[in-house]
């Protein structure tokens, strides 16, 4: 905003204290009841006017001093050079540029030009004549306004021949009106975020602020005073170093820039597509990109420059650099940890540290990864799995006893048994192959192998030889053989092991006739 013109008494005193006494800006401002900016502005005007020491100022009367600082006296304006108002309006959008600075630069080029009050008044008249307003000034690189068009483009489905309506996303920079547009399948969050990512790539930089409408994809809870920003949208903005400031509901002037941009896109893009047929969304977007190039290159009547020219001069230098990697869309979900220290996402189970059992955690899921957070800290990360009903488990998440169990594998069991002897190895292999799942035989094998410590490897090998001959497939018979010393007897041969029952009758044997 421009500062108020000071009285000649204050202006003279500012120059005296600065040029003669060399006092600091802030001390002068405090003593005269004005601002440090007003002090600096007065000194800038004095330098432009060539008043570089107090002796030059002291001899000037008030009228002459006013003329030197603020231009010639007000008159009819005949013979004075009119400022380039469109250029002024464009320059005001640069960071830190005020009307007062522009007036000083104007006087440098046209010393007999309008004084400050007339300069501002004529600029305001120019704005009013063009229906513009000074209430919302757009700094270069500050705001990117986004919205969807109410009028929808579409394409023809080549399989059915039916028209498929899609959405038109529009983004526009505040200072230059540089515009981006694309067609998307929907307004849902994945499409909404992806459109932002492509828009920022198109601009080649990120603004300070994103200004959306309060649609569900960007705002979880609409409110005039404290809207709740959707989690993924907030994360995306943070990735690009931007803030999200939604427009107030039912206040189109908060986003007047994009309202106009949507109208322009409808007239210069959608209207030109009405007689054309497309057979895919990509084909439609290719044509929109061509028309968008023409739109941004068109000379605007008010500024006598194109959106692209203003963008290169104003917005591009002020935009922040994009991060090295584009934002990856992610969805968030709350989940409670089950007793088996896993959380569920779309039917698949992902492990977390076992100490978090029963805690409520947050899951961040992208197309390729699943991250789990506890109180803002990441506690687990997994590749995303499409397999429902299965588990992704990290060994470090398991309790110690579970980790030890996990260390055992069939091949490790067999290798250990082989160090004892071939019969022990044969028995272990038989037990593992006999079970529907090898893990079901782990305990039996471990029990058998640990018998070598209580007895000896030689005795265990002999006991396993007898067990193999008898067709044993478990721990208890081997343990019984060793306890009873049967391992020290000659092993039974295969014929003995498979001998038929005795032919002589026995009171406990019913015989085949019993069942007739």
What's the pLDDT tens digit per position in 309-356? 999 998 999 999 999 999 989 889 999 998 878 999 998 999 999 899
Domain membership of residue 79 (yes or no) is: yes
- Regarding whether 213 and 95 lie in a shared domain, the answer is no
Residue 304 has a pLDDT of 82
Most confident of the ranges 23-37, 83-97, 128-142, 325-339: 325-339
Least confident of 25-34, 291-300, 429-438: 429-438
Give the domain-ending residue among 283, 318, 353.
Answer: 318
Give the domain-ending residue among 376, 399, 422.
Answer: 399
> Given a cut of 70, is residue 152 above it in pLDDT?
yes
Length of the chain, please? 516
Q: In the structure, what pLDDT confidence band is assigned to residue 131 with cuts at 50, 70 and 90?
A: low
- Regarding whether 296 and 200 lie in a shared domain, the answer is yes
Take residue 248 and report the two structure tokens written for it. Answer: 């107030």
How much of the chain, in percent, has pLDDT values that exceed 70?
Answer: 86
Residue 402 has a pLDDT of 59
DSSP notation for 194-222? HHHHHHHHHHTSB-SEEE--S-TTTEEE-
Q: Let me know: does 457 contact 420? Beta carbons within 8 Å.
A: yes
pTM (2 decimals)? 0.55
Take residue 79 and report the two structure tokens written for it. Answer: 């013979």
Most confident of the ranges 179-193, 248-262, 402-416: 179-193
DSSP notation for 27-84? HHHHHHTS-HHHHHHHHHHHHHTT--SHHHHHT--HHHHHHHHH-SPP---TTPPPP-
> Given a cut of 60, is residue 507 above it in pLDDT?
no
- Regarding whether 125 and 94 lie in a shared domain, the answer is yes
Residue 47 has a pLDDT of 87
Domain membership of residue 229 (yes or no) is: yes
- Regarding whether 376 and 434 lie in a shared domain, the answer is no
What is the distance between the alpha carbons of residues 1 and 120, in angstroms, rounded to a whole number? 11
Residue 297 has a pLDDT of 93
Give the domain-ending residue among 372, 399, 426.
Answer: 399
Q: Let me know: does 24 contact 52? Beta carbons within 8 Å.
A: no
The enclosing H or E element of 133 equals: none
Residue 98 has a pLDDT of 79
Domain membership of residue 287 (yes or no) is: yes
Residue 8 has a pLDDT of 77
353's torsion region: left (phi>0), alpha (psi -120 to 50) or beta?
beta
Domain membership of residue 515 (yes or no) is: no
For residue 461, give the nearest of 407, 423, 488, 432 by alpha carbon: 423
Residue 352 has a pLDDT of 93
- Regarding whether 250 and 208 lie in a shared domain, the answer is yes
Least confident of 17-31, 352-366, 368-382, 493-507: 493-507
- Regarding whether 297 and 435 lie in a shared domain, the answer is no
Residue 130 has a pLDDT of 62
Domain membership of residue 507 (yes or no) is: no
Domain membership of residue 326 (yes or no) is: no
Indicate which CATH number applies to the domain containing 279: 3.30.420.10
Integer CA distances (angstroms), 502 to 406, 505, 513, in order: 48, 8, 16
- Regarding whether 38 and 157 lie in a shared domain, the answer is no
Residue 514 has a pLDDT of 44
- Regarding whether 362 and 422 lie in a shared domain, the answer is no
What is the distance between the alpha carbons of residues 464 and 461, in angstroms, rounded to a whole number? 5
Domain membership of residue 156 (yes or no) is: yes
| Residues of the domain holding 476 | 408-497
- Regarding whether 24 and 125 lie in a shared domain, the answer is yes
Q: Let me know: does 304 contact 316? Beta carbons within 8 Å.
A: no
Integer CA distances (angstroms), 259 to 212, 265, 266, 420, 444, in order: 11, 10, 11, 83, 75
Domain membership of residue 309 (yes or no) is: yes
- Regarding whether 69 and 182 lie in a shared domain, the answer is no
Residue 225 has a pLDDT of 66
- Regarding whether 294 and 423 lie in a shared domain, the answer is no
- Regarding whether 355 and 444 lie in a shared domain, the answer is no
Per the structure, the count of domains in the chain is: 4
Take residue 400 and report the two structure tokens written for it. Answer: 């110690």
Count helices and strands in the chain by DSSP H and E runs: 22, 18
Q: In the structure, what pLDDT confidence band is assigned to residue 132 with cuts at 50, 70 and 90?
A: very low
């Amino acid at each position: 905003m421009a500062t108020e013109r000071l009285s000649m008494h204050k202006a003279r005193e500012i120059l005296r204290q600065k040029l003669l006494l060399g006092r600091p800006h802030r001390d002068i401002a405090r003593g005269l009841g004005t601002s440090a900016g007003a002090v600096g502005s007065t000194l800038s005007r004095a330098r432009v006017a060539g008043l570089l020491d107090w002796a030059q100022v002291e001899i000037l009367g008030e009228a002459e001093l006013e003329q030197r600082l603020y231009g010639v006296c007000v008159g009819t304006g005949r013979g004075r050079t009119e400022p380039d108002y469109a250029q002024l309006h464009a320059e005001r959008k640069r960071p830190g540029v005020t009307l007062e600075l522009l007036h000083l630069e104007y006087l440098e080029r046209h010393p007999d030009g309008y004084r400050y009050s007339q300069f501002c008044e004529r600029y305001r008249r120019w704005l009013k004549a063009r229906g513009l307003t000074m209430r919302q000034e757009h700094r270069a690189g500050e705001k990117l306004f986004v919205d969807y068009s109410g009028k929808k483009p579409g394409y023809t489905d080549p399989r059915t021949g039916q028209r498929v309506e899609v959405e038109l996303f529009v983004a526009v920079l505040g200072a230059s009106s540089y515009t981006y547009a694309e067609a998307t399948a929907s307004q849902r969050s994945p499409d909404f975020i992806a459109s932002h990512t492509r828009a920022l790539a198109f601009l080649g930089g990120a603004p300070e602020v994103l200004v959306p409408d309060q649609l569900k994809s960007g705002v979880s809870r609409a409110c005039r005073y404290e809207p709740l920003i959707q989690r993924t949208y907030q994360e995306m903005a943070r990735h690009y170093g931007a803030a999200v400031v939604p427009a107030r509901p039912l206040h189109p002037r908060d986003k007047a820039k994009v309202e106009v941009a949507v109208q322009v896109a409808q007239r210069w893009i959608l209207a030109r597509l009405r007689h054309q047929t497309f057979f895919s969304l990509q084909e439609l977007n290719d044509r929109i990109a061509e028309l968008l190039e023409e739109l941004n290159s068109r000379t605007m009547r008010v500024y006598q420059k194109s959106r692209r020219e203003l963008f290169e001069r104003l917005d591009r230098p002020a935009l922040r650099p994009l991060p090295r990697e584009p934002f990856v869309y992610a969805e968030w979900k709350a989940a409670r940890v089950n007793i088996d220290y896993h959380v569920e996402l779309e039917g698949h189970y992902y492990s977390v540290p076992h100490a978090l059992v029963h805690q409520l955690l947050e899951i961040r899921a992208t197309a390729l990864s699943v991250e789990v957070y506890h109180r803002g800290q990441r506690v687990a990360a997994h590749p995303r799995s499409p397999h429902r009903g299965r588990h992704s488990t990290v060994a470090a998440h398991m309790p110690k006893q579970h980790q030890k169990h996990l260390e055992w594998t069939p091949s490790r069991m067999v290798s250990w048994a082989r160090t004892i002897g071939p019969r022990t190895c044969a028995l272990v292999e038989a037990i593992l192959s006999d079970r529907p799942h090898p893990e079901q035989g782990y305990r039996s094998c471990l029990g058998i192998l640990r018998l070598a410590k209580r007895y000896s490897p030689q005795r265990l090998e002999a006991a396993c030889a007898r067990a193999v001959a008898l067709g044993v497939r478990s721990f208890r018979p081997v343990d019984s053989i060793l306890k009873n010393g049967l391992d020290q007897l000659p092993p039974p041969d295969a014929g003995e092991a498979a001998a038929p029952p005795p032919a002589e009758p026995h009171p406990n044997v019913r015989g085949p006739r019993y069942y007739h």
